[in-house]
Amino acid sequence: MAEGHAGSLDKHREWVARVFASGRVPHGVLLAGAPGSGKLTLALEMARRFLCHAPEPDARPCGTCIACRETGTLRYPDVLVFSSRDITPEARALLAIIPRAVGSSAGQLLVIGAVRRLLYRVANRVNGGFFRARDGGGESSKSDDEDQGRVPWLERSLADAPGKDPGALADVLRGVIEEIVEIDSGVQHSMLPMAGIQEIIRMLSRRPLLGDRRVVLIEGIHTFRVEGVNAFLKTLEEPPAGTMIIMTCPGLDTVLPTIRSRAAILPFRRPGAGLMQAIARDVYGCSDAGEADGFADLWSYLEAQGDTARAVQADLLHFLELVRTADRNPALFEFAKDLEKRDEAQVFLQALADLVTAALLAAETGYGRDTVHAMALSHFQPVFLRRIHREVCRLAEGLTRNNLSAAQGIVSLVLAFWLEEQDAR
């Protein structure tokens, strides 16, 4: 099918409304774009329209039937989810924003829903048998049967969560997310194996469970191997009656042409600041999220909304100011002592590494050159930025292994590199 120009979520919603109104709904849709561009939001909206039990097409989605209510959590049995997406960035973002989201009843419901989606995405990996277990050092500390048994317990924890006071609710959600991440660590999901693709095809040969339609959501169609794509092409081209296949990928260049030619393609623009703020508010319950300018993706933006992240961002700005004015400035060492006392040296180093990465990307590609992060280091040469990035990562690793005991020493060494570059110029 023809490929359209990259558009916004609202533009794609208009397209969805038109094709559903016409009755010519494509059996395959490919959504391409970066995290936070709106792919999952649109996928779930399409799924609700397609599966809604309302008798009149114009009334879909009705918002009240079981399909409309449960599709958003990925729990509806006629929504088959096959996800190779890495949940780590989203889990970190959720952990950061929980304290802010639980402050209101609306925020509580939204963040609980987000955690529930995370749970069902991982539950599908574990229970469906589509992915292989990790081997060696990556395997889970618990058996597969135990992991499957933990999912209902986590479901109950989330079901009982509404109504708790904000502090208790935050503790419950943190505990659930940590359990989800642990369960997911036992599954090798970066590539969907042939056995998993054959299982998708086999499941589609059965009738839907609660209606006469079903939706297949494949998050990460780009992870299909060539032989897997070849096995899936017939199903994508001629799926069983009443089946809609929605696929996502980070970019069209990551997907084989044989997939692209068999689907309606909706490319998404890189998420802008306004969209990321809207998602933080409307999807994750973070109503007082800060400005989103300067963030490369949704997850880094959400993670930056946490109290710790905001404190570290303030530390970074203070550190850069000290560097700009430093000449063996004793204030830098006072700053390092305070950082060590607050036990945030590790987080600070990771944030510093991310900032250097953003500056290096801006220096070599021009992308993000006008953001605060890039401007902070814009006067340094790429060769120096690579060197300082390697050193920061090495120091962070040393701190993790307790080979380094003082944040003061770390920050002083970073400062020494900066002064060396300034002297060289």
What CATH architecture does domain 9-282 belong to? 3-Layer(aba) Sandwich (3.40)
pTM of the model: 0.70
Q: What integer pLDDT is reported at residue 367 of this predicted model?
A: 64
Residue type, 67: A
410 has pLDDT over 90? no
pLDDT in tens, 80-131: 888 888 888 889 899 989 988 998 889 999 999 999 989 988 887 777 666 6
Collect all residues with Cβ–Cβ distance below 8 Å to 75 and sequence separation of at least 6. Answer: 116, 120
| Sign of the CA dihedral with 367 first, then 369, 371, and 377 last | positive
Across 335-342, average pLDDT: 72
Across 233-248, average pLDDT: 92
User: Which pLDDT band holds residue 405 (cuts at 50, 70, 90)?
Assistant: low
Q: What integer pLDDT is reported at residue 139 of this predicted model?
A: 42
Whole-angstrom distance, CA of residue 138 vs CA of residue 188:
9
Whole-angstrom distance, CA of residue 40 vs CA of residue 9:
10
Across 280-298, average pLDDT: 81
Whole-angstrom distance, CA of residue 403 vs CA of residue 395:
9
User: Which pLDDT band holds residue 141 (cuts at 50, 70, 90)?
Assistant: very low
In the structure, how many helices (H) and strands (E) does the chain have? 18, 7
Q: What is the CATH number of domain 306-424?
A: 1.20.272
Whole-angstrom distance, CA of residue 228 vs CA of residue 188:
17
3-state helix, strand, coil in the chain (%, to 5): 60, 10, 30
**9-282 and 306-424, same CATH topology:** no
Residue type, 18: R
The count of other CB atoms within 10 Å of the CB of residue 221 is 28
Whole-angstrom distance, CA of residue 187 vs CA of residue 171:
26
User: Which pLDDT band holds residue 5 (cuts at 50, 70, 90)?
Assistant: very low
Across 238-260, average pLDDT: 92
Per domain, the residue ranges of the chain are 9-282, 306-424
Collect all residues with Cβ–Cβ distance below 8 Å to 89 and sequence separation of at least 6. Answer: 35, 297, 299, 300, 303
Whole-angstrom distance, CA of residue 367 vs CA of residue 359:
9
The count of other CB atoms within 10 Å of the CB of residue 77 is 13
Partner residues linked to 217 by β-bridges = 81, 246
Reduced to 3 states, what is the DSSP secondary structure of residue 108? helix
Across 376-384, average pLDDT: 74
| Sign of the CA dihedral with 206 first, then 208, 210, and 216 last | positive
Partner residues linked to 3 by β-bridges = 265
CB 133 within 8 A of CB 188: yes
pLDDT in tens, 189-204: 666 677 778 888 888 8
Q: What integer pLDDT is reported at residue 28 of this predicted model?
A: 94
Partner residues linked to 215 by β-bridges = 79, 244
CB 239 within 8 A of CB 204: yes
Q: What integer pLDDT is reported at residue 295 of this predicted model?
A: 75
Q: What integer pLDDT is reported at residue 372 of this predicted model?
A: 57
pLDDT in tens, 309-325: 667 777 877 777 776 66
Whole-angstrom distance, CA of residue 283 vs CA of residue 285:
6
Whole-angstrom distance, CA of residue 81 vs CA of residue 384:
44
Structure tokens at 158: 């989330």
Phi and psi torsions of 268, nearest 5°:
-105, 140
Across 131-139, average pLDDT: 51
> Which range (250-259, 351-360, 361-370) has the least confidence?
361-370
> Which range (26-40, 56-70, 133-147) has the least confidence?
133-147
Whole-angstrom distance, CA of residue 202 vs CA of residue 220:
19
